[in-house]
Amino acid sequence: MKVLGGEVAWQLPGRSSARELELERLEAAKESMEAWRYSPIEDLDLAAFGGVAKVPDDEAVAAALARLSSLGGADAVVVIGAGRLVKAEPASWLAVEEVGAAGELLRQEEEPFLSLATVLAPARVEIKVAGSETGRRVAIVMVDDGDGDASHGWLRVSCEGDVTVMLLAERRGTSLGIDAIEFEVGKGSRTQFRYYVNSSPQSVGFGHLRYRVHQDAAFDVVEVASGTGYSRLRTDGFLVGAGASTTIRSAYVAGARETAEFRTFIWHDAPRTTSDLLYKGAACSNGVSIYSGLITISSDGSGSKAFQTNRNLILSPEARAESVPNLEIKTSDVRCSHASTVGPIEEELLFYLQSKGIGREEATRALARAFFAGMQELSETEYGEIASALDAKWDR
């Protein structure tokens, strides 16, 4: 990491000069309009979020911890509220502290809200986890609960060994949450990140997941968004060591007046690296699903494999989905693919089930649930949350 003009930027191999960084920023600026092309950002009244976020009360934390228990529990729990460390369970393999972050900035020209997270966060919460052969499970609970309040958070997690990190992001009422989340996955480590978003329809969330994976390490992500409000998550993954790998499995449901937006940027900057992305979303009522992604394989990424898929299920004439996957390949000897689909449930499948005596409404709901059932990485509880979200948002 290098400081340039008061800004903090992650340096990738082969991109160390200030001039090269500036050229990248100019390119990013030219793409800034593209970054917001499909987003209904102009419909948001951000001036409504003028209040200062408060630390969540015991009842809100208890509700989040109860949800955590249903997802399998953890060996240790860290609670963050209003961007501050509220509670951390002591453990010999876990270190948690607040770090003053004033003056530091993770710059992202086309994502100004993500830069704000690092500027306005009251502190950066840093977590260091040392895993083991049997693995460790750490749960992080972040709760925003307010009426017109805005919170800014900055979380940095370093992982060694075999580690599972669960992050529950709860946004209640009319609240705005802007969060930057960073992961550093050490050489030979395997980190599983399970990210749960449950937001009220009136909430707004801008998130930035940024991670680096070193030699022979793996970073595997499972995202479950059962309630989105207006939610925009950008993911930047940097595979910087030979043999590094990452997978992302994302399941989400957008209901009435909800927008679920995902942007992914994966960099293969070392040989024999692997990425495999699958985003599956359902849009009900007038919900909106948006996905855009870019996988870049640099000149140092020979022997790499990259797969990017986005599937969208449209369950209402008023629902909408946009899908824009992209690849940029700068070397040979690679295996890459990208695919996307947007559409309703196939009439042939509905006809088949109806021919077996199943009503059209029941058949439609069964096929919508089956759309997510093929995601083997989802646990039974995680799949149940998505299925429940489908039922709850179907007729709204």
Is 396 a member of any domain?
A: no
- pLDDT for the residue numbered 21: 56
pLDDT mean across residues, the chain: 85
pTM of this structure? 0.88
The pLDDT of residue 17:
53
Range in 144-148, 320-324, 362-366 with the lowest mean pLDDT: 144-148
Identify the band that residue 259 occupies on the pLDDT scale cut at 50, 70 and 90.
very high
In a domain, 202, yes or no: yes
pLDDT computed for residue 48 by the predictor = 80
Res 22: pLDDT? 53
pLDDT higher than 50, residue 392? yes
The reported pLDDT for the residue numbered 23 is 54
At residue 133, the pLDDT reads: 65
| Structural domain that includes position 181 | 18-344
Look at residue 298 in the predicted model and tell me its pLDDT: 93
* pLDDT for position 11: 41
pLDDT, tens only, 75-103: 899 999 888 899 898 888 999 999 987 66
Q: What is the pLDDT of residues 190-212, one digit of tens each?
A: 999 999 988 888 888 899 999 99
- Tell me the longest C-alpha to C-alpha distance in the chain: 69
pLDDT at 240: 96
CA 94 to chain centre: 23
Q: Measure the CA–CA gap between 136 and 165, rounded to whole angstroms.
A: 8
* pLDDT beyond 50 at 1: no
Percent of the chain whose predicted confidence (pLDDT) is above 90: 50
Residue 152 to residue 113: CA distance in whole angstroms: 10
> Which has more confidence, 45 or 122?
122
Structural domain includes residue 366: no
| 3-state SS track over the chain | CEEECCEEECCCCCCCCHHHHHHHHHHHHHCHHHHCCCCCHHHCCHHHCCEECCCCCHHHHHHHHHHHHHCCCCCEEEEEECCEEEEECCECCEEEEEECCCCCCECCCCCHHHHHHHHHCCCEEEEEEECECCCEEEEEEEEEEEEEEEEEEEEEEEEECEEEEEEEEEEEEEEEEEEEEEEEECCCCEEEEEEEEEECCCCEEEEEEEEEECCCCEEEEEEEEEECCEEEEEEEEEECCCCCEEEEEEEEEECCCCEEEEEEEEEECCCCCEEEEEEEEEECCCCEEEEEEEEEECCCCCCCEEEEEEEEEECCCCCEEEEEEEEEECCCCCEEEEEEEEECCCHHHHHHHHHCCCCHHHHHHHHHHHHHHCCCCCCHHHHHHHHHHHHHHCCC
pLDDT reading at 255 higher than 70: yes
Q: Quick check: 144 pLDDT over 60?
A: yes
Residue 7 confidence class, pLDDT cut points 50, 70, 90: very low
> 378 lies in a domain?
no
Domain contains 374: no
Closest residue by Cα to residue 108 from 49, 27, 44: 27
Does 67 or 264 have the greater pLDDT score? 264
- Per the domain annotation, does 291 fall within a domain? yes
Backbone angles phi, psi at 5, to 5 degrees: 60, 35
319 against 100, higher pLDDT = 319
pLDDT at residue 85, rounded to an integer: 92
How far apart, in whole angstroms, are the C-alpha atoms of residue 293 and residue 279?
10
Return the higher-pLDDT residue of 394 and 310. 310
Q: Is residue 316 part of a domain?
A: yes
Phi, psi dihedral angles at 54 (to 5 degrees): -110, 155
pLDDT in tens, 149-178: 888 899 999 999 999 999 998 877 788 888
pLDDT tens digits for range 266-301? 999 999 999 999 999 999 999 999 999 999 999 999
In total, how many domains does the chain have? Answer: 1
Best-predicted range by mean pLDDT (44-58, 200-214, 241-255): 241-255
Whether residue 7 lies inside any domain: the answer is no
